[in-house]
Amino acid sequence: MRTTHARVLSVPLLGLALLSATTQATDATPAARKLAQDAVIVDTHIDSPTELMKQWKDLGETQSGEFDYPKARAGGLDVAFMSVYTSPGQDDDGSAWNVANRMIDAVDSLALRHPDKFAILRSPRDVDRLRANDRVLLPMGMENGAPIGDDLAKLDFFFQRGVRYITLAHSANNRIADSSYAAEKRWKGLSPFGREVVAEMNRLGMMIDVSHLSDDAARQAIDLSRAPVIASHSALRHFTPSFERNLSDELAKAIAAKGGVIQIPFGNAFVDPASAAQTQAYFVAYAEFERERAAGRTTKTVAEFDADWDKAHPPLPVGIDAVLDQIDYGVKLVGIDHIGIGSDFDGVGGALPQGLKTVADFPNLVAGLQARKYSDADIRKILGGNLLRAWTAIEAAASR
């Protein structure tokens, strides 16, 4: 998720009775665990590189976070897109380029340190070959186009380094596009440079990611692209009507019509209406706090503001059904071939539904889908088949 200053939002507590019932209802069955291990599971958004910038951890071994090799294998995860996230602040101070390259170095080092456990994935054609012997594959997605600055040639540079999608903007307008979070939109969609970025990404075979974009920017990117586009971690606005960060029905249909995929996240703030409302309230309060700071009317620091907010707004328990409801609605809206998963693990500060707390929990999601009468073939599509199909089509469009 990542907000403007790289924190995650929490939400108020409810009673625990529903939580307990939901947890019991989604315990993975042997059939669910078997399918999770056999299917190709692709998660398009895991924020572990940001955590590695805070403190190095060997993710080849069991760690305290939401992604590591033992947890991935327990959950059946095969393809884990590592998110190369840079903030609007790093865009402003010119450090985004260095931060992005350090994150890529960290992902590379995992594969070099543990060639028996990890491999860098650059093409969907290589999935079956590289995942042999229980490897977890690590393609990369860039969350925020800030590291390319205003230099189109840097797209090819990052493509050569293994970046296979770019989320054009994040929580603030940038040189490429307007953000869904920005109160004032700078470009009314894509910038002129952003239009060139879309064309160059098409040429390279790099996936265009419209998560985090304003409605106008997402619509323009979809219209301009010669290839399918993805939403790497976007839920559906049907459940959160005033939350622009989630996709409207119109935009979801446009992504599907282009052959793309909507990757449903797990974070409470995306999938749960009350949590989404709390997220929006936070942004309003934070904007007012920034105005107070600029006017010299408060000496409170950002850390103090966040601590006070979290104390007043403790987390709200959310059940796995919130994610399953999103998938159900998406399938009915755009069809089984256009829905996937982009968890946002390690990116939402643990604000995740019960039963989906780490990458080890994918069997719980499978069990929930089986309980809702999805066929195993359709579950395979949601778990990864749809994303791999779209990625293959994007590569083919580039070769043409």
Domain boundaries, the chain: 17-393
Reported as half-sphere exposure (CB side, CA atoms, 13 A), residue 337 has a value of: 11
Buried b (16+ CB within 10 A) or exposed e, 241-252: eebbbbbbeebb
Predicted local confidence at residue 27, as pLDDT: 78
DSSP-based three-state secondary structure for 79:
strand
pTM of the predicted protein model:
0.92
82 burial type by CB count under 10 A (0-12 exposed, 13-18 middle, 19+ buried): buried
When the candidates are 3.30.465.10, 3.20.20.140, 3.30.2130.10, 3.30.420.40, the CATH number that belongs to 17-393 is 3.20.20.140
The structure tokens listed for 101 are: 């390259």
The structure tokens listed for 125 are: 């054609």
Contacts of 369 (CB under 8 A, 6+ apart): 324, 327, 379, 382
Predicted local confidence at residue 400, as pLDDT: 73
Predicted local confidence at residue 314, as pLDDT: 83
- Distance of alpha carbon 302 from alpha carbon 246, whole angstroms: 26
Buried b (16+ CB within 10 A) or exposed e, 143-181: bbbbbbeeeeebbeebbebbbbbbbbbbbbbbbbbbbbb
- Can you list the positions of beta strands (E) in the chain? 41-46, 77-85, 118-119, 136-137, 140-143, 163-167, 207-209, 230-231, 261-264, 339-341
Predicted local confidence at residue 206, as pLDDT: 98
Predicted local confidence at residue 287, as pLDDT: 85
Q: What residues in the chain have per-residue pLDDT under 50?
A: 1-26
Predicted local confidence at residue 68, as pLDDT: 98
